[in-house]
Amino acid sequence: MWERFRIYPKHSGCEKLQGPDYELANKAAVSFGLVVSKMTSLCPYAPVYRIQDDEWDIVIKRTGYPRSSAQVIADWLHTLRARNIKIVAPLSQFAPNPRVIQDSDVWSWVIYPFVDGHSYTASRDELRQAGRLLGQIHLEGENLGRDMLTINELPIPSKTKVAANLQKCADNIDRWCPEILGQFTAKVANITGEIYDTFRDRRLALPLSACCWDFKASNLIFSDVGVPTLIDPDHAGRIPRLYDTACAVLLFHCDLNSSPGTLWTRSQWRDFYEGYFEILAWMQQEYANWIFVLKAAWLDEALWLLAHFTEGWQREGERTYLRELAMVDFDIYTLG
């Protein structure tokens, strides 16, 4: 019996029939043998649709590009599900699932179940349970995902990429919070220098795991007892698990109406990592390099978001979070 789930929309105002690539999503649904009378868009930025009728309550979405292939991601998810990890996996009733619907596509389409529960509310228990889930994914993923896109060393953006993102970040900050522009520019310069000066002498070979690479509150749904399920695993890759954790710190409160609209506080970070360490203990080299890795993730993932998240800058609550991300105090996220 397939699992019946439900998910509350991440974004207000996206309960609508049309949305990104609606016609293509409808074509994909038909290819799976579905007769669709209504599809509801769940995301304003990407083709993610709910299909609900007397028989099904499901999500159809595009998957498998540009990181790992759709089938490799599906294999990883089915393994995690078999090990009782709370994460969605493609429904076997629609095999082959995922599937390519036209030969020219680099993408595949996948059908997941809807997830029943509520969105993140930033409670201590939710943060601890989220940390536990990430720890479970990293622990189980140590020997999984060998065919995924793999990055064996710490991802460090090129100076050209940093410069391009910095210019776009500066344009957004100058428009929305110009009072921090000078401090932000100096912060990028300092961290760029620190990362590149150090990295020449520190070729980090950190423990790898199959990671979702997008672990944040908007991709989690919580049960009545606060247990989360990861609902968007489609950006997966085999990367240093420490880097995946760093991305979670920086991006966890991004783009979700029920989030506080800020970065984690020191106590929220503690709740999260205490849950994580109930499952998985880092190696000594991970402890020693944690803040360095966090800064490297900020230089790549955070700058990209600050440069390209136009919709977020336009929303007052999200803008507060982005301002804090631009001026993040890394000392808040030390251990102990």
Residue pair 271/133 in contact by the 8 Å Cβ criterion: no
Residue pair 133/83 in contact by the 8 Å Cβ criterion: no
* 3-class SS of residue 239: strand
Residue pair 211/185 in contact by the 8 Å Cβ criterion: no
> What are 182's two structure tokens?
């000078």
Q: Distance between CA 298 and CA 251 in Å, rounded?
A: 10
Domains of the chain listed by start with CATH number: 22-113 (3.30.200.20), 124-333 (3.90.1200.10)
Q: Distance between CA 143 and CA 209 in Å, rounded?
A: 7
* C-beta atoms surrounding 233 within 10 Å: 25
Q: What is the pLDDT of residue 186?
A: 98
Residue pair 5/113 in contact by the 8 Å Cβ criterion: yes
Instruction: Please name which of 126, 129, 139 lies closest in space to residue 241, comparing C-alpha atoms.
Output: 139
Helix (H) or strand (E) holding 163: helix 159-176
Q: Distance between CA 33 and CA 255 in Å, rounded?
A: 33
Please give the span between the terminal C-alpha atoms of the chain, in angstroms, as a whole number: 45
Residues 132, 133, 136, 141, CA torsion sign? negative
* 3-class SS of residue 229: strand
Whether pTM exceeds 0.95: no
Length of the chain: 336
Show the DSSP H helices in 179-283 as ranges.
181-199, 241-251, 266-279
**26-67 pLDDT per residue, tens:** 999 999 999 888 899 998 888 999 999 888 999 999 998 888
Task: Give the contacts of 86 (CB within 8 A, at least 6 positions apart).
Answer: 133, 227, 228, 229, 230
| DSSP result, 284-298 | HHHHHHHHHHHHHHI
Class of residue 156 by CB neighbours under 10 A (exposed 0-12, middle 13-18, buried 19+)? middle
Q: Which residues of the chain are modeled with pLDDT < 70?
A: 1-18, 200-203
Task: Give the contacts of 222 (CB within 8 A, at least 6 positions apart).
Answer: 117, 118, 119, 120, 121, 126, 129, 228, 229
Residue pair 137/212 in contact by the 8 Å Cβ criterion: yes
